Amino acid sequence: MQLIESLTESKSELQAIRRDLHAHPELRFEEHRTADVVARTLSGWGIEVQRGLGGTGVVGRIRCGTSRRAIGLRADMDALPIQETNGFPHRSHFDGRMHACGHDGHMTMLLAAARHLAAARTFDGDVVLIFQPAEEGGAGAQRMIQDGLFERFPCDAVFALHNWPGLDVGQFAVAPGPMMASTSEFEIRVTGRGGHAALPHLTVDPVLVAVQIVQGLQGIVTRARNPIDAAVLSVTMIHAGDATNVVPDTARVGGTVRTFDDAVTDLFERQIRQISQLTAQAHGASASVDFRRSYPATVNHPEQAEFAARVADRVVGAHNVVRDVDPTMGAEDFAFMLRARPGAYLFIGNGAGAHREAGHGAGPCMLHNASYDFNDDLIPIGGTFWVRLAEEFLR
């Protein structure tokens, strides 16, 4: 590995920043202390800082040379509503809040790169350091864009890194095209006519209708969708009734749809409405459908994905850069930035959990797990990658 010496030498100092952030997790749009730490740290290194974009967002900018070509590097700042089960000293100080997705590490890798870039000044142009709030379901990236992120800080391309448990430390993964899925939520409300369970002929039973709708929805995946297009439809909620001898008036069915393509999402929305309404109608009931699109698919631009992969080749060796990684059905709001600017989203290997076994408690370590921890060995690797990416982009 070709790591930058100043980053490996200052690993313990950077680790202390990461562990302080880990110990003080804040939920989406409440990242006040976190934003203070990020802003104060950047300012301390002489970096220009703007606050308040997207609420708690922080943007740093390092200008060098005469070119106004610019690269945006993004880290997310928010934690999750999870009770941490780790026992190490830097575990969450707050009940019910935890950095279980490694955003503490993402911020630290970007801070590490910022410090080096501000001191070394080995590029010609602008490096825009984007610290965004509310990645976990709050669409903080979209809020920053709506607040004029790319007008106030023009970027020719944007990049983001996410740690990935199970991928070896020292590996990167990036693919052209989809990396993460879009996510949509739906809720179907079936209205029948309640009454005595012993006299069903005098009722319109919404429970029977709801169950038939649930079965019908799976037909979208198996019959209506082109099998080439990846998609998931999960019904995760059915609510109806309170008594064994009463047919209720209404029933509710809810769930999620994940796809890699807006046209496929359109198909699912159309079909969910049609199946719900016509199934209800067949039984003399009615159905209303609420379909909400949360995050679009995270789709890498091929040119920027290959550019980032080549930079990663230089840092960790080409054999450690996975270029044909399968996309996952999880979602990521960096998708909004990739719709606004060309760019790419990469995974950086967080390892198989060995970093957690020494006094960190056992257990699996997938993201969003209560015993997850970011692997501090990634700080100089991710930091070096960010530095080389910026230098190469702004040669």
Helix (H) or strand (E) holding 188: strand 182-191
Q: Which stretch binds Zn ion (CB under 5 A): 3-11, 37-45, 53-61, 98-106?
A: 98-106
Among candidates 136, 113, 96, 108, which has minimal Cα distance to 34? 108
Residue 370 tokens, joined: 């209560």
Alpha-carbon dihedral sign for residues 120, 122, 124, 125: negative
Among candidates 289, 263, 112, 99, which has minimal Cα distance to 210? 289
At its nearest, how many Å lie between Zn ion and the CB of residue 374? 10
At its nearest, how many Å lie between Zn ion and the CB of residue 317? 26
Say which DSSP state 202 is in: G
At its nearest, how many Å lie between Zn ion and the CB of residue 28? 11
Q: Closer CB to Zn ion, residue 123 or residue 164?
A: 164
Residue 378 engages Zn ion in binding (rule: CB under 5 A) = no
Counting DSSP H helices and E strands in the chain, the numbers are 12, 16
At its nearest, how many Å lie between Zn ion and the CB of residue 330? 8
Residue 62 engages Zn ion in binding (rule: CB under 5 A) = no
Q: Closer CB to Zn ion, residue 70 or residue 101?
A: 101
Q: Closer CB to Zn ion, residue 10 or residue 183?
A: 183
Q: Cβ distance 173 to 346 under 8 Å?
A: yes
Q: Cβ distance 368 to 101 under 8 Å?
A: yes
Considering only residues 27 to 46 of the shown chain, the ones binding Zn ion according to CB under 5 A are none
At its nearest, how many Å lie between Zn ion and the CB of residue 102? 6
At its nearest, how many Å lie between Zn ion and the CB of residue 32? 20
Q: Which stretch binds Zn ion (CB under 5 A): 93-101, 275-283, 314-322, 334-342?
A: 93-101
Q: Closer CB to Zn ion, residue 143 or residue 189?
A: 143
Is 201 in a helix, a strand, or coil?
A: helix
Among candidates 293, 316, 349, 12, which has minimal Cα distance to 164? 349
Strand pairing of 286-295 and 182-191? antiparallel
Q: Which stretch binds Zn ion (CB under 5 A): 66-74, 96-104, 289-297, 355-363?
A: 96-104
Residue 278 tokens, joined: 């016509």
Among candidates 225, 137, 214, which has minimal Cα distance to 183? 137
Q: Cβ distance 197 to 205 under 8 Å?
A: no
Residue 21 engages Zn ion in binding (rule: CB under 5 A) = no
Residue 348 engages Zn ion in binding (rule: CB under 5 A) = no
Q: Closer CB to Zn ion, residue 101 or residue 155?
A: 101
Q: Cβ distance 189 to 250 under 8 Å?
A: yes
Q: Closer CB to Zn ion, residue 101 or residue 210?
A: 101
Give 321's Cβ-side CA count (13 Å radius). Answer: 21
Considering only residues 213 to 242 of the shown chain, the ones binding Zn ion according to CB under 5 A are none
Q: Closer CB to Zn ion, residue 101 or residue 264?
A: 101
Residue 98 engages Zn ion in binding (rule: CB under 5 A) = no
Residue 101 engages Zn ion in binding (rule: CB under 5 A) = yes
At its nearest, how many Å lie between Zn ion and the CB of residue 65? 33
At its nearest, how many Å lie between Zn ion and the CB of residue 106? 7
Q: What does the binding site for Zn ion look like in residue numbers (CB under 5 A)?
A: 101
